[in-house]
């Protein structure tokens, strides 16, 4: 018979589209979970029950949304997406329902409360960061927009809304639309507590309940905020429950008070006579279980939101579990831990991110970090290491990992050796007499392990240990953190193939030889090329290129091993870097870590969006600078008034940038005084993103691409930094119209490593 047909070749998976220069080729870790599922283990959940309508609401913090279920756990609908616009959410920590069906969402990391109807349609909002009445948390820059928002919400029978404003040490009472009705201060004092409420609940009789850490007492208040006493929430008797702090509480319709905590999968219930019962959730994981919210149901039952298993559990008045819904996501794509701290990539492409998976959303300081692993192609999954507090990690050439514990385990004198799933294989013991704890790790291609040691007795010094692949001490030396900005960030390590060790400290990078000799140092605090603000991480590529996560400038900088700048690109090209509060720290800091794969791909850890951005290997060579931006090719129109009104009297097609209005009139009909002018040019920047810095004073307005970027009509304007996309012609315009006597403008356009600046100082008299 005929020969067998040749089987067709296996289909080739579609390639990712090529990225533009310095654009992420792709990202992973930020995909939402499917509806009906929540986040990964440890992510905060909130819960509320609408008895009249038969709806159970879940605040799904990991996916920035609210999900609605029927009492049997069947999904109904969901709403919300990450963002700051009305109706958008950032890590909503809890939810509450009024008698009329209005849904109140505690939009934690936006520092506000939002109102929705039962279908999820936006109604209104109030709040914001700050300490004024009606605001929540300490605000920027203290909280860095993370973990300092409101921490509990409840609605009373009269429609008033109570909010636990933890970091302002108070409870706030609002009307249904957000009007402030009262404030109950909880400052430290006679009761010996720090006054930071971890939750708030309202009983059937209107009594207000709250709990504050260290006090170990539940506090009661009348509906008007008058104190009604307190009673112990825990004791050390034989039936003491296993959690240290109360992280959630509610009052059932039979008057019983329920509380939950972290780490033991337990709840405590007090009936109306004060008798206590301990309830343990079946199937909970002691190392992960945390009750982040409680809500009353009918007949004395309650719903408990358990972060460890990412589920909502219904318990009847006797503590029996009658139903549960939700569950963790399937691991097919993020999200990352809530606070990702560090990442690295192994030779086989395995990516590991260490971060705190449990947020102290109820005032709890202790957190359980997680080990998350995936691959550079984009699949990510959460893996536990049994609750070990890994703070730093580094990939070894053989695909295993080294990890160091943080300050909570300061007695540690070893670095753990882990397999690719985070299971402990052994320990690499540190030399006898070593003090402090390991703050960062780096592994060279030959297997040499560099350890950065921190000792609280010497806060402005660090000791570096180089351990040979077999475990012996190869070298050790002490470095001084003489960088004035070093105390603001944690120093980080990177190891090169030639044995060199690179250390980033705030705004500097230092290179040490294998024996600890200082060989090179570069960097300074600032926004210019080669300058840094908060260098949060450092990595060395296979070709020896040094990559710095310049978080304070929201960019990545590439250097040669001697500090020569090779290129700069924004880690978030679409974002404008703005410092609205004037604290010298940009309000859009996002970069938490950086790593380089063996194939040259650059991985940037985005801790605000909880994702990993993957950049293609940088191209070699220097791109051309911006075309046409200089002292010629400007179209200048001059007006016979100070307001650029009516038609210009003269137009010069190829004018320079001499804007000194003290010169004699440039043409007939123009006065020697009281003139104004407009300069326009079409600027062709190369493809890619370009960092533009604009500053001016007195009487000048500047537009780029139709956007007003400087408005100094009445005096100095602050410097602005923004990212402009090249590849197309864009109109640039300068208007000079003020009667002032001192004018100046500075434009700096920075594509990658090249800077093209136009500095225009002049003095003019009117």
Residue-range domain boundaries for the chain: 44-280, 634-748
Average confidence (pLDDT) over 506-522: 93
Distance CA 540, CA 499 (A): 12
Q: Is pLDDT at 69 greater than 50 in this prediction? A: yes
DSSP state of 282: T
Confidence of residue 167 (pLDDT cuts 50, 70, 90): confident
Q: What is the DSSP string of 714-738?
A: SS-EEEEEEEEEESSEEEEEEEE--
User: d(Cα 358, Cα 260) in Å, to the nearest integer?
Assistant: 15
Q: What is the pLDDT of residues 469-492, one digit of tens each?
A: 887 899 999 998 876 665 667 899
CA 547, chain centre distance (Å): 21
Distance CA(136)–CA(165), nearest Å, equals 6
Give the pLDDT band (50/70/90) at residue 452: very high
Q: List, for residues 382-399, the tens digit of each pLDDT value.
A: 554 444 556 788 999 988
Lowest average pLDDT, out of 14-28, 284-298, 666-680, goes to: 14-28
* DSSP assignment string, 418-479: E-TTS-EEEEEEPPTT--SEEEEEEE-TTS-EEEEEE-TTSTTEEEEEEE-TTS-EEEEEEE
User: Class for domain 44-280, per CATH?
Assistant: mainly beta
CB of 508 within 8 A of CB of 491?
Answer: no
User: Which pLDDT score is estimated for 573?
Assistant: 40
Among the residue ranges 63-77, 512-526, 598-612, 620-634, the one predicted with the least confidence is 620-634
Does 458 have pLDDT greater than 80? yes
633: left (phi over 0), alpha (psi -120 to 50) or beta: left
Q: What is the mean pLDDT of the chain?
A: 75
Which CATH number among 3.90.550.10, 3.10.180.10, 3.40.50.720, 2.60.120.260 corresponds to the domain 634-748? 2.60.120.260
Pick the range with the lowest mean pLDDT from 31-45, 132-146, 196-210, 393-407: 132-146
Kindly report, residue by residue over 533-556, the tens digit of the pLDDT: 888 899 999 989 999 998 888 788
Residue 301: pLDDT over 90? yes
- CB within 8 Å of 385: residues ≥ 6 apart: 370, 371, 403, 418, 422, 423, 424
Phi, psi of 663 (to 5 degrees): -65, 160
């Amino acid at each position: 018979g005929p020969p067998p047909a040749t089987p067709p070749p296996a289909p080739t998976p579609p390639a990712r589209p090529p990225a533009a220069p310095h654009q992420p080729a792709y990202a992973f870790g930020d995909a939402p979970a499917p509806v009906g599922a929540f986040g990964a283990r440890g992510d905060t959940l909130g819960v509320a029950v609408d008895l009249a309508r038969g709806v159970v609401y879940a605040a799904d913090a990991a996916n920035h949304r609210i999900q609605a279920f029927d009492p049997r756990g069947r999904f109904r609908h969901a709403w919300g997406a990450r963002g700051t616009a009305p109706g958008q959410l950032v890590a909503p920590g809890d939810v509450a329902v009024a008698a009329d069906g209005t849904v109140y969402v505690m939009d934690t990391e936006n520092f506000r409360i939002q109102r929705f109807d039962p279908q999820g349609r936006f109604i209104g909002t109030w709040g914001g960061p700050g300490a004024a009445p009606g605001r929540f948390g300490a605000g920027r820059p203290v909280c860095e927009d993370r973990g300092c928002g409101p921490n509990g919400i409840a609605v009373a029978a009269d429609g008033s809304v109570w909010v636990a404003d933890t970091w302002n040490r108070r409870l706030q009472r609002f009307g249904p639309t957000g009007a402030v009705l009262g404030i109950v201060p909880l400052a430290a004092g006679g009761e010996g507590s720090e006054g930071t409420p971890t939750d708030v609940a309202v009983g059937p009789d209107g009594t207000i309940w709250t709990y504050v850490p260290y006090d170990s007492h539940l506090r009661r208040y009348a509906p008007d905020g008058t104190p009604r006493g307190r009673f112990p929430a825990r004791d050390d008797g034989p039936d003491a429950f296993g959690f240290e702090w109360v992280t959630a509480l509610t009052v059932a319709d039979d008057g019983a008070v329920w509380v939950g905590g972290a780490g033991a999968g337990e709840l405590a219930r007090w009936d109306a006579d004060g008798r206590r019962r301990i309830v343990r959730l079946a199937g909970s994981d002691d190392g992960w279980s945390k009750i982040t919210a409680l809500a009353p149901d009918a007949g004395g039952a309650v719903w408990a939101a358990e972060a460890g298993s990412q589920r909502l559990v219904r318990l009847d008045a006797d503590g029996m579990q009658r139903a549960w819904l939700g569950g963790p996501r399937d691991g097919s794509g993020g999200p990352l831990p809530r606070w990702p701290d560090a990442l690295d990539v192994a030779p086989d492409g395995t990516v590991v991110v260490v971060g705190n998976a449990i947020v102290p959303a109820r005032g709890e300081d202790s957190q359980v970090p997680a080990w998350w692993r995936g691959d550079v192609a984009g699949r990510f999954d959460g893996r536990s290491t049994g609750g070990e507090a890994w703070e730093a990690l580094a990939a070894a050439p053989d695909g295993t990992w080294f990890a160091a514990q943080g300050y909570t385990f300061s007695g540690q004198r070893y670095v753990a050796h882990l397999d690719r799933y985070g299971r402990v294989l052994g320990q690499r013991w540190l030399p006898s007499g070593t003090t402090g704890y390991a703050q960062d790790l780096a592994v060279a291609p030959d297997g040499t392990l560099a350890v950065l040691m921190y000792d609280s007795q010497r806060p402005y010094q660090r000791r570096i240990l180089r351990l040979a692949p077999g475990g012996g001490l190869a070298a050790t030396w002490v470095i001084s953190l003489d960088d004035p900005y070093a105390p603001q960030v944690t120093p980080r390590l990177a190891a090169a193939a030639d044995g060199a060790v690179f250390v980033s400290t705030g705004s500097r990078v230092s290179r040490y030889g294998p024996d600890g000799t200082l060989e090179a140092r570069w960097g300074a605090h600032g926004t210019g090329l080669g300058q840094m603000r908060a260098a949060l991480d450092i990595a060395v590529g296979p070709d020896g290129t040094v990559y710095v996560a310049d978080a304070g400038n929201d960019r990545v900088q590439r250097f040669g091993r001697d500090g020569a700048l090779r290129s700069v690109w924004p880690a978030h090209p679409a974002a404008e870097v703005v410092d609205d509060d004037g604290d010298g720290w940009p309000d859009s800091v996002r970069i938490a870590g950086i790593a380089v794969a063996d194939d040259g791909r650059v991985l940037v850890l985005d801790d605000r969006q909880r994702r990993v951005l993957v950049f293609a290997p940088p191209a070699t060579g220097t791109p051309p600078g911006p075309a046409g931006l200089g002292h010629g090719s400007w179209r200048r129109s001059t007006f016979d008034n100070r307001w650029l009104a009516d038609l210009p009297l003269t137009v010069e097609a190829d004018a320079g940038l001499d804007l000194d209005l003290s010169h004699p009139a440039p043409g007939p009909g123009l006065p020697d005084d009281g003139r104004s002018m407009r300069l326009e040019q079409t600027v062709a920047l190369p493809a890619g993103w370009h960092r533009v810095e604009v500053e001016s004073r007195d009487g000048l307005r500047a537009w780029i691409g139709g956007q007003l970027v400087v408005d100094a009509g009445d005096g100095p304007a602050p410097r602005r930094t923004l990212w402009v996309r090249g590849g197309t012609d864009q109109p640039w315009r300068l208007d000079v119209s003020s009667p002032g006597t001192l004018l100046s403008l500075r434009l700096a356009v920075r594509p990658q490593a090249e800077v093209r600046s136009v500095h225009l100082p002049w003095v003019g008299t009117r």
